[in-house]
């Protein structure tokens, strides 16, 4: 398990390009350079081990991580750019409003069924957010494939009407 206390090197980097810019931790696009086994640590001391790279987008990259309690999450790491940070802060604010509150008791009880009945549970749940090496990190539940991946798996032939109806009902409920 490697700790990224010093500038990451290109060897084993999951981030592309994996060459650090002047900050020592980011590439020229502003992405945090990470490798499998790196630790992303919140200011409160929560530690997440990077398992693999799930994807990248305009605002940054998504990493599959495992907490010290062996729970798996998806962490969206926002690029180190002021405009992206501002947009991500707005995303955090919106996701906090849509978040379904959990209590420790609900996690392992029948109350979890009631929780799932809340329409907000149809919206991706953000568990935490923090800044790590000048990158806003958003911690989400790990989900399956996204819509683009689903279309790619279907060879870009579109989706069935029944599947579109299913997705539409979920969106309208949420």
The tokens describing 31, both together, are 């992405």
Q: What is the mean pLDDT of residues 82-86?
A: 95
Per-residue model confidence (pLDDT) at position 145? 81
Per-residue model confidence (pLDDT) at position 116? 54
Query: At residue 73, what are phi and psi to the nearest 5 degrees?
Result: -135, 170
Q: What is the pLDDT of residues 19-56, one digit of tens each?
A: 555 557 888 889 999 999 999 999 999 999 999 999 88
The tokens describing 45, both together, are 């001391």
Domains of the chain: 1-143 (1.10.510.10), 145-174 (no CATH)
Give Cβ neighbours of residue 2 (< 8 Å, ≥ 6 apart).
35, 37, 38, 39
Per-residue model confidence (pLDDT) at position 61? 95
Lowest-confidence segment of 54-68, 109-123, 153-167 by average pLDDT: 109-123
What's the whole-model pTM score?
0.74
Rounded Cα–Cα distance for residues 42 and 50 (Å): 13
The tokens describing 139, both together, are 């911690």
């Amino acid at each position: 398990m490697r700790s990224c206390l010093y500038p990451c090197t290109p060897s084993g980097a999951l981030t592309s390009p994996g060459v650090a810019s002047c900050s020592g931790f980011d590439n020229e696009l502003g992405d945090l350079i990470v490798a499998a086994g790196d630790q992303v640590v919140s200011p409160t001391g929560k530690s997440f081990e990077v398992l693999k790279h799930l994807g990248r987008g305009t605002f940054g990259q998504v990493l599959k991580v495992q907490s010290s309690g062996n729970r798996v999450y998806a962490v969206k790491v926002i690029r180190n750019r002021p405009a992206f940070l501002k947009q991500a802060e707005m995303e955090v604010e919106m996701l906090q409003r849509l978040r379904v509150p959990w209590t420790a008791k609900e996690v392992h009880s029948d109350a979890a069924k009631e929780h799932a009945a809340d329409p907000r549970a149809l919206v991706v749940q953000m568990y935490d957010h923090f800044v790590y090496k000048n990158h806003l990190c958003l911690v989400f539940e790990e989900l399956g494939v996204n819509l683009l991946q689903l279309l790619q798996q279907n060879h870009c032939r579109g989706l069935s009407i029944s599947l579109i109806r299913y997705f539409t009902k979920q969106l309208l409920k949420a």
